[in-house]
Chain A
Amino acid sequence: MASKVLVIAEFRGGKFKKGALECVAAASRLAPALGGGDVTALVIGGADAKAAAASLGKQGATRVLAACADWLAEFNGDAYARVAADVVRAEQPALVLVAATLDGKDVAPRVAARLDVGYAPDVTKLAVEGGKLAIARPLYAGKAYANVTLAGAPAVVSVRPNTFALLEAPGADAPVADVALAFGAGDLKSKVVAVEAAKTDKVDLTEAEVIVSGGRGLKGPEHFVLLEALAAELGATVGASRAVVDAGWRPHHDQVGQTGKTVSPNLYFAVGISGAIQHLAGMATSKCIVAVNKDKDAPIFKVADYGIVGDLFDVVPRMTDEVKKLKK
C-alpha cells in the first residue's frame, strides 16, 4: 500500500491559492500517520505556475511535479482532471487532496470518477484516527455534519479553505520534476476562448456569501460609498435596513428584513444598524454576524457573533484597509 499524499495545488492569478497551500501543509502533517513517505504536490498550469512550483516546499511538499504547458495556463477541468488522474495512477498515493475552490470542486470529482474511487467533497475535518481517515463535511448548508468513509484507493478529498492552518515554520523549496503529458491541446473537447474579470457588482442579496448592510448610522446616502468600498474588497453585496430604504437612501431591492429580503449568508456585517426586530427577521439565520455600532447597548449586539463598539466612520475604512492588506 502506497503511503504518500498527493496535493493537486491550484495556481491562479499568479500565485498558489491559499487553500492549496493549506492542503500542502495539512498533507505534510498527515503523512507520518499514513506511514510516512513523500508529500507530493502536483502543479498544473503555464510557465508562471512552473516558476512558482518549488515554493510549495515551504509548506511541506517534499517534491513537486509540474505538468505545465502554455495550453494548460488557463483552467480547463477536462484537461486538468485527465492530467491529474494520469499522475495519480503513476504515483499511487493513499490520499489525494484538492482545495475546495470552484476549480478544485470541478476537477476532484472527475479525478475520482476516472479512478473509480470515493470522493469526499468540501470537507471540514480530515484526520487519521486509528490508522484510518476520519472525514467530516457539512451538509444542508451547515445544518448537519456527516462523518463519511471512502472506498478504493486513493481517497480523493476536497478541503474547504480555512480548514487547516499554514505551517508556522515554513521550510525550504522542494525539487521540481516535469510530468510528461500524454495528450495535447488538440485532444480537448473544450477550450477557454476568453476570460474576463468577474463583475464585482451585484450578486443578489439572497445569493450572496457575504453581505455588508448599512442602517441609519450611515447618516446619509452619500456615506454608503464606505460600505461599497468594503464590499468590493470582500466580494460582498451591499444591503440596507428599512429605515434607510424608507428614507430613499437605498432602493427597496437592497432591503434586508421583514418587508425586504430574508438572507442567510456566511458572513453578515450590520453597520450602523441598531437591530430592530424587523431587521433581525431578515438576517438572524446568517452563519456569522458582525456588528459595528457606537451604542454598546444596541440590540444588534445580542445576535452578533462579533462586535466592535465604535464610530463606523473610523471602523469601516480601517476594515477596508486591513482586508486589502490581508489579500496581499
Chain B
Amino acid sequence: MGEYRGADFFELDDLLTDEERAIRDTTREFVQRELIDTRAIELHHRAGTFPVELAPRMGEQGFLGPTLHGYGCLGLSSVAYGLIMQELERGDSGVRSFCSVQGSLCMYPIHTYGTEEQKQRWLPGMAKGELIGCFGLSEPDHGSDPSGMETKAVPDGKGGWVLNGVKRWITNGTVAHLAIVWARTPDGIRGFIVPTDTKGFSAPLIEGKFSLRASVTSELVLEDVHVGPDALLPGVTGLKGPLSCLSQARYGIVWGVIGSMQAVFDEALRYTQQRSQFDRPLAGFQLVQEKLVWMHTELTKAQLVALRLGRMKDEGKAKPHHISFGKRNNCWAAREVAKLGRELLGANGVCDEYQVMRHLMNIESVYTYEGTHDIHTLVLGEHLTGLAAYRG
C-alpha cells in the first residue's frame, strides 16, 4: 500500500461495511499506482490533456456507472459510489469528473429514461469505458438557469428529429462517442442520445483553462443534426430529466471534494512536519497549527455530511435540498482547504511537484459547476423560507 492514508478523525471507517471499505481501498490503490506513482496526472495536467487511455482501465475496475443495475454495472450502494468518487478526486478532480459525467450524467439517464434497446446498445460499452459519453445541458447564455435553453429539436415528420443549438462547458466533449443532448421540443424539454459522428455535430475544445486541466471541456455545436426515433429518451419530459441527472452527479461531488481535501491536508501536514524554518518544524508554529486544525476540522465535518447523505440516499430519503447542502458545504470547505494548504507549502506550493496548486485550481471549477455555490444557497433558502429567490 502507498504511504497515503486519509484522515479519519471520528473513525468513520467503523461505519462502513467491509465491502465499502474494500472498494475504497482498491480505488485508492488504483489512483496511487495509475495516476500518482506514474506521474500521469502531473503530466496530463501540465499538457492539458485527459488520460483517455485510463477510460477502459476504469471500466475494468468497475468505476463507471457503478450504482446502476445490470448491463455490466455493479449495483453498488451510494456510499460505495461516493467512496470511489472520493478516491478518484484524491488523484484529480478531472478524473473524478470524467467518471461523474460518464456514470451519473450519461449512463444514468439512459438507464432511467431509455428504452431496453437503448440500454442494450449503449450501457455495456459505456460500463467498460469503450464508449464515452458527454452531457449537453449548459449553453453559452444559459448556465445557472437551464430553463432558458435555446437548443431546439424539431420533429422531421418521419419519427426522427432535427437538432440545432450550442452547448458549452461540456466535460468529455472532444473524446465522447455519444452526447446526451437536452433540447426544447414542442412538448417541452426532452433528452436525445446523439452519436458524436452524426453529420452536423462538432465539439470544439475550450482552450486556455486554468482548472480541470486533466479533463477536456468543449462546446457542442449542433447544426441540423438529424437523428432517428431511437435517439429520443422516451421516459422523461421537462427539466426534471436533466435535474435528476445532476442530483446524481452532485451527490458524487459531495464525496469527491473530500478526496481533494484529503490530498491537500495530507500533503500540507507532511510538508509542515518535515520542513524547518527558524530551527524548528513549520508544524510547530501556532499560525501553522491553526491552519492545519481548521483544514482538518472542515474535512472531518464534510465526511460526516457525506456519509449521512449517502445513507439517506440509499434509504430513499435524500431530497435535492440535502444534496444541495452537501455540494455547497463540501465544495466551499474544499476550496478553503486548498487555499490554506497552498499557503502552508509556501513557494513550493505553486509548483506541480506538489499537488496543492492543482487541487486549488480544480476546485474553482467544482465550486462552480453543477450548480454554483450561490445557486445551492438559494435552493436551501427556498427550502427554509418557502420563497424562491431566483424566480421573479
Contacts and interface: CB of A to CB of B under 8 A. Distances in A.
Do A and B form a real pair? yes
Contacts of B39: 252, 259
Greatest chain A CB density within 10 A among B270, B271, B274, B354 is at: B274
Given A252-B39, A259-B42, A278 B353 contact: yes
Interface in A257-284: 258-259, 262, 277-278, 280-281, 284
B353 A242 contact: yes
Contacts of A262: 3
A277 B353 contact: no
Given A252-B39, A259-B42, A262-B3, A280 B274 contact: yes
A284 B39 CA distance: 21
Contacts of B354: 258
Would you call the interface of chain B mostly helix, strand, loop, or mixed? mixed
A281 B273 CA distance: 10
Contact of B348 (A252, A277, A284, A302): A277
Secondary structure call for the A interface? helix
B275 A258 contact: no
B3 A277 contact: no
A184 B271 CA distance: 61
A281 B270 contact: yes
Contacts of B275: 277
Interface residues of B, number: 11
Contact of B274 (A242, A252, A259, A281): A281
B274 A277 contact: yes
A281 B274 CA distance: 7
A242 B354 CA distance: 13
Contacts, number: 20
B290 to A, nearest CB: 22
Contacts of A302: 276
Contacts of A242: 353
Nearest to B38: A252
A31 B42 CA distance: 62
B274 A284 contact: yes
Contacts of B270: 281
Interface residues on A, range: 10 to 19
A215 B278 CA distance: 26
A280 to B, nearest CB: 6
A314 B276 CA distance: 31
Contacts of A278: 348, 353
A259 B353 contact: yes
B88 to A, nearest CB: 19
Contacts of B353: 242, 258-259, 278
A271 B326 CA distance: 50
Nearest to A302: B276
Nearest to A261: B37
Interface in B52-110: none
A242 B270 CA distance: 18
Contacts of A281: 270-271, 274
A87 B353 CA distance: 60
Interface in A297-326: 302
Interface in B111-154: none
A258 B266 CA distance: 13
Contacts of A280: 274
A284 B42 CA distance: 24
Interface string A228-271: 00000000000000100000000010000011001000000000
A242 B275 CA distance: 18
Interface in B349-388: 353-354
B312 to A, nearest CB: 39
A280 B271 CA distance: 10
Nearest to B352: A259
A277 B275 CA distance: 6
Contacts of B42: 259
Contacts of B271: 277, 281
Interface string B259-278: 00000000000110011100
A96 to B, nearest CB: 37
Interface in A95-115: none
A118 B353 CA distance: 51
B90 to A, nearest CB: 16
A277 to B, nearest CB: 5
A180 B354 CA distance: 66
Interface in B233-291: 270-271, 274-276
A219 to B, nearest CB: 23
A242 B42 CA distance: 14
Interface string B12-29: 000000000000000000
Contacts of B274: 277, 280-281, 284
A258 B356 CA distance: 13
Nearest to B351: A278
A262 B3 CA distance: 8
A137 B371 CA distance: 59
A254 B354 CA distance: 19
Contacts of A258: 353-354
A259 B35 CA distance: 11
A258 B275 CA distance: 13
Interface string B199-223: 0000000000000000000000000
B347 to A, nearest CB: 11
A242 B3 CA distance: 19
Nearest to A299: B276
A30 to B, nearest CB: 41
A32 to B, nearest CB: 48
A320 B226 CA distance: 75
A154 B274 CA distance: 48
A189 B348 CA distance: 60
A258 B271 CA distance: 10
B352 to A, nearest CB: 9
Nearest to B36: A259
Interface of A: 242, 252, 258-259, 262, 277-278, 280-281, 284, 302
Interface of B: 3, 39, 42, 270-271, 274-276, 348, 353-354
15 contacts: A242-B353, A252-B39, A258-B353, A259-B353, A277-B271, A277-B274, A277-B275, A277-B348, A278-B348, A278-B353, A280-B274, A281-B270, A281-B271, A284-B274, A302-B276
In the A-B complex, the 3 residue pairs with the smallest Cβ-Cβ separation, listed nearest first, are A277-B275, A262-B3, A259-B353
Given A252-B39, A278-B348, A281-B270, 14 more contacts: A242-B353, A258-B353, A258-B354, A259-B39, A259-B42, A259-B353, A262-B3, A277-B274, A277-B275, A277-B348, A281-B271, A281-B274, A284-B274, A302-B276
